Amino acid sequence: MRTQIAAANWKMNLTLQEAQTLLDNILKQTDNIGENRKVIFAVPACYLTVANEKIANTSNVFVAAQNVYSKKSGAFTGELSVTMLKSINVNYAVIGHSERREYFNESNQFLADKVKICLEENITPIFCCGEALPVREVNQQNDFVTRQLEESLFSLSAEEIQKVIIAYEPIWAIGTGKTASSDQAQEMHAHIRTQIGRKYGEAVADGISILYGGSVKASNAKDIFGKPDVDGGLVGGSSLIADEFVPIIKALK
Ligand code: PEP
């Protein structure tokens, strides 16, 4: 079975004290995550080291950066490199979240460079894709997401793409309380897997974890994660509340 993943995206939230309390609270309720499952916390950059210390004695729990730059070093004030992440033992990075695409104009090509540099440094990219509401309203979501995959991922080798985690996050469902139905999620996840299969073959496509993101909550996680092509979730708002995120972790297949 593919690895099932509950990934928290804290975005730009929480003070250090709040972050520590939240992490302690979640970790003490999830000491046995189980084989074939992972929990990943994408925390603000300034908390990466502290979060890594907190998870030091856990198994199957990891810390992720929410973003990383496309170059390894240089005059890029304010940016964070894969080399830096590696040096503090951070092995995951969220790439191409819709908020970065929208507010920081990150293009598919730029994201291709970020994915590539992550893989060069053995950092697992959690690559986000997904359509906005106007695209879904005219039923163009499959073509739109296919293009994101083609332009950002499909220049990777088969060996490289197997190391990527994909998160399908319909923008209209992020932070809006509107969740895609589990059938809508399954339909798009199956589509993504088919596109990967078309390019790299079925065996490669079958091994890639595809997470759903968009208003996942304790009350809907089981239904969404139960779908055959949904391998867990990337969770924003509900990952900031232990009583929400713990049941989400427990809802993994
Ligand atoms: C996200 O930020 O990736 C996300 C899915 O947010 P939310 O769960 O709040 O919709």
Listing DSSP states for 201-242 in one string gives -HHHHHH--EEEESS--TTTHHHHHTSTT--EEEESGGGG-H
Domains of the chain: 4-250 (3.20.20.70)
Residue closest via CA to ligand 1's atom 2 equals: 236
Tell me what pLDDT residue 34 has: 85
The atom of ligand 1 lying closest to the CA of 11 is 2
Query: Is 125 near ligand 1, meaning CB less than 6 Å away?
Result: no
Tokens in use for 177? 């309380």
Please give the span between the terminal C-alpha atoms of the chain, in angstroms, as a whole number.
Answer: 10
Per the CB < 8 A criterion, the answer to whether 79 and 152 are in contact is no
Q: What pLDDT does 175 receive?
A: 77
Atom from ligand 1 closest to the CA of residue 173: 10
Structural tokens at position 210: 């595809």
Q: What integer pLDDT is reported at residue 68 of this predicted model?
A: 98
pLDDT, position 76: 98
Sign of CA dihedral 67, 168, 90, 7: positive
- Closest residue CA from atom 1 of ligand 1: 236
Q: Is the CB of 174 under 6 A from ligand 1?
A: yes
Which residues are identified as catalytic? 97, 169
pLDDT along the chain (253 residues), means of 10: 96 98 96 92 98 95 98 97 98 98 97 98 98 94 98 98 98 82 96 98 98 96 97 98 98 96
Q: What pLDDT was estimated at residue 179?
A: 80
CB of 167 within 6 A of ligand 1: the answer is: no
CB atoms under 10 Å from CB of 77, counted, come to 5
